[in-house]
Amino acid sequence: MWFARIVAKGLLLGGGTACIVVFTAFAQQTRPPGPSVSTQTNPAQSPSEPVQLTLQDALARAEKNDPAYQASVTDAAIARESRRQSLNDLLPSVKYNNGLLVTQLNDLGEVRYLANDRLHEYMSQADIHEQIGLAEVAKFRSSSAGAALARAAAEIAKRGLVVTVVQSYFNVAAAQEKLATAQRAAQEGDNFLRITQDLERGGEVAHSDVIKAELQAADRRRQEKEAQLALLNARLNLAILVFSDFNTNFQIADDLHADAPLPRFEEVQQLASRNNPEIRAALAAVQQAGQEVTAERAGYLPSLSFDYFYGIDAPNFGVNRADGQRNLGYSALVTLNIPVWNWGSTQSRVKQAELRRAQTHRELSFAQRKLLANLQSLYSEAQTAQQELAGLKHSAALAGDSLRLTTLRYQHGEATVLEVVDAQSSYATANAAYQDGAVRYRVALANLQTLTGVLAQP
């Protein structure tokens, strides 16, 4: 309860900034013992110097801090290493084997096992091994397609993150504008209350007008507090995305209402057709599934392996024997493995791979249809938001003029108190709609970026 009273007092006295300070102090007091976490992005920066955060800075910071996007980047790096491993499997490998073979002698002092030449047999050989088969080639191509698929998934995650950051960034800008509007409306409500009180003392209006003005002023003050809370929440949401150390000492540098032109539909269509990550991911999945079918079908075919050994295989561990002969020598082994019967396992694996390939074809077709639908839908959304934004701006300006003129008419006895109250409500509603419309247009442009890869600059 005491914390709620402190927050309420901060809202009344200092606005959103006071709430942030109180929240930070409370977090520092209630933090369990352990390493302290700084709330400044730069240790040399004083609390009085907030970070000037542009949209591009916010996007760059969010890419480094967002765990979901970083997980997709990690998956892409893992897939890249898998491709490298598959490529290495196509190349000869070299290893060095060392061993000692001990066998049992019979009563005549001869070895009991035909494969063993001596009582002690020492082996120290380098082995160059090469496996040649269609399966290895298909696995490499499959891993290459998998790496492309992971890269496309990372790009999809990145573009989704852009939409989230753009929305959070401009929500802060809109919340600041709404707070400024709410503060102006609260001041207008207080001024109107004083006007009605003066007119009542002069006998020009009834006491009911004062009561209505007082109720309206109290309502405007409550709306101001709600706007302060909304700004605080918007800043906290953005801080979570952008700062790794939860820094709330920042300022929005980009203007919500700066000009951000909408590209032509033909340009958007061309960019989407050649730079859409969903289509690239679906194509990579089709290629990967096709190579998996080839790899499984390779189980019907023979495979060839080659081994070249060089070193010693002798009764003593050394370059030369006791009689002076050299132990060093080489041998080679070529193996042709011909599959004959495995109870239909190869056929079953081929069928599985073919089923997965058919599904990827269906998913590719769906992704292509979805791209066409999203292209028209998202562009129409951005176009509609752009067209409505100009009207919302004009309505906000008209609502301000209407409030000013209605208040003047009321002072001269030409308007009722209800008309003034209605003008005040229209002013607050029109300004809030204008800010929401600006955010809607920015988010619509960011959604278009998920198709084209190009973000409209403010």
Look at residue 29 and tell me whether its pLDDT is greater than 70.
no
Q: Please write the tens of the pLDDT for every residue from 93-129.
A: 888 888 888 887 777 777 766 667 777 788 888 999 8
Q: Please write the tens of the pLDDT for every residue from 353-367.
A: 999 999 999 999 999
Q: What angle do CA 54, 385, 186 make, to 5 degrees?
A: 70
Grouping H, G, I as helix, E, B as strand and the rest as coil, residue 221 is helix
> Percent helix, strand and coil across the chain, each rounded to 5?
65, 10, 20
Q: Where are the alpha helices (DSSP H) in 412-455?
A: 417-452
In the chain, CATH 1.20.1600.10 covers: 50-91+135-301+348-452
In the chain, CATH 2.20.200 covers: 94-132+302-338
Per-residue tokens: 170: 């401009």
Rounded Cα–Cα distance for residues 331 and 127 (Å):
10
Closest to 164 (Cα-Cα) out of 262, 268, 66: 66
Q: What are phi and psi of 124, to 5 degrees?
A: -145, 95
Q: Which fold has domain 94-132+302-338?
A: Outer membrane efflux proteins (OEP) (2.20.200)
Containing 176, the helix (H) or strand (E) segment is helix 134-201
Residues 337/291, Cβ–Cβ less than 8 Å: no
Q: Please write the tens of the pLDDT for every residue from 168-200.
A: 999 999 999 999 999 999 998 899 899 999 888
DSSP lists the bridge partners of residue 105 as 111
Closest to 314 (Cα-Cα) out of 126, 115, 100: 100
Q: Structure pTM?
A: 0.74
Q: Please write the tens of the pLDDT for every residue from 333-388.
A: 999 999 999 899 999 999 999 999 999 999 999 999 999 999 999 999 999 999 99
Residues 305/130, Cβ–Cβ less than 8 Å: yes
DSSP lists the bridge partners of residue 331 as 309
Rounded Cα–Cα distance for residues 399 and 425 (Å):
9
Q: What are phi and psi of 205, to 5 degrees?
A: -130, 165
CB atoms closer than 10 angstroms to residue 298: 20
Q: What is the pLDDT of residue 9?
A: 37
For the domain 50-91+135-301+348-452, what is the CATH code? Answer: 1.20.1600.10
